[in-house]
Structure 1
Amino acid sequence: MSTAIIYSFTSNKTAKAGEKIAAAIGKSFETTMVNADELTEKEFLSYDQLILGVPTWFDGELPHYWDEFVPAIEEMDLKGKKVAIYGLADQVGYPENFADGVGILARLMRDRGAEIVGQTNIENYKFESSNAIENGDDKFIGLVLDQENQARLSQKRIEDWVEGLKNIFK
């Protein structure tokens, strides 16, 4: 199984989180780091397993590099692919749309047939609402990191998340 970690190499906090995720994976399974700013449809579809990095911009929007790739994704058949999503968000500055990018990207992938993996607990976060939570669940669809307000918790959250992925990704 081929696995890619896809994020913008120029989105500093998302890139640093992607590097920490890759380091936590270590040699458990082989991964390729892919720059979302240069992503092609062919490259995206060439991987069986995807770890996607997405910060939430402004009032709950995808960053431009993902937003511009959405039309291509909408035409894809992602059946058989496993997708884990991590995202950066600010629960103090944007509590009403905390980590919405994670939810937007997850639903887009799931609607195309991908299996979304890597849910995480919402404990120890304080926000009003989030599209990264489904149906009143008590879990985020993926890993949510708040480097603005809880940076000291990120490494442990990454390590715990990756441990779960090691049981899912081969």
Structure 2
Amino acid sequence: MSRIGLFFASSTGNTRRIAKLIKKRYDDDTMAEALNVNKASAELVAGYTHLVFGTSTLGGGQLPGLSTDCMGGGWEEFLPQLKDVDFSGKTIALYGLGDQDKYPEEFVDAMGILYEFFTARGAKMVGAWPADDYDFIASKALVDGQFVGLVLDQENQKALSDARLDAWLKQISPDFGLPL
């Protein structure tokens, strides 16, 4: 089994594409193949001590799921399956996709929802990301002036995504026991 689990939920495919870009940067011993949470199980997730979770934010700040027309479901359906999993001793990094121009009042809110869920279950969260260079009004993903994970805006700042992704992966590497 790989050392790091990589899971995502996506409605348009952007979050999946980012997961695949993350996976490309690591070998199979280090990171598992990216897996949509609608194909995952609580037991599979619980088997990893290091995890990367990705999400988009839909509509009025919602998680991807059946109520937001996410085919096959997403985090909305999967989180209840994880409610009894103890994440103590697990290290989790989050990445979130959002549109700061179209949804400035709930920018990457879904990532904030995941953060609250996993911290409430004892996870060590890593990968906080500066909120500078984004233009938005409000976000549930802000804690102490920083985002709780990597934020990518594929609609308005796509040209910045590769550099942001590389910098973030370098940042979380020590927390995951990886060389820089």
| TM-score normalised by L of structure 1 | 0.92
TM-fit CA distance, 1:167: 1.3
1:84 is matched with which residue?
93
**1:3-82 equivalent positions in 2, closer than 5 A:** 3-8=4-9, 11-24=12-25, 26-27=26-27, 30-33=30-33, 34-64=35-65, 65-82=74-91
Within the candidate set 136, 142, 150, 2:149 is matched to 142
Where 2:48 maps in the other structure, the secondary structure is: coil
Deviations 1:29-56 (A, max 9, x none): 7000222111111111011111001000
Deviations 1:109-168 (A, max 9, x none): 00000011001111110000000002xx22100001000000000000000000011111
Q: Residue type matched to 1:60 in 2? A: G
Return the structure number with greater relative CO, CA threshold 8 A, min gap 6: 1
- Between stretches 157-166 and 63-72, larger displacement belongs to 63-72
For 1:101 and 1:3, the matched residues in 2 are separated by 22
**How many residues are matched?**
167
For 2:10 and 2:75, the matched residues in 1 are separated by 13
Q: Residue type matched to 1:67 in 2? A: E
Gaps of 5+ in 1: none
Return structure 1 stretches of 4+ with deviation > 3 angstroms.
Answer: 8-11
TM-fit CA distance, 1:71: 1.4
Gaps of 5+ in 2: 66-73
Q: Residue type matched to 1:110 in 2? A: T
Given that 2:6 and 2:52 are in contact with CA atoms closer than 8 Å, whether structure 1 keeps it comes out as yes
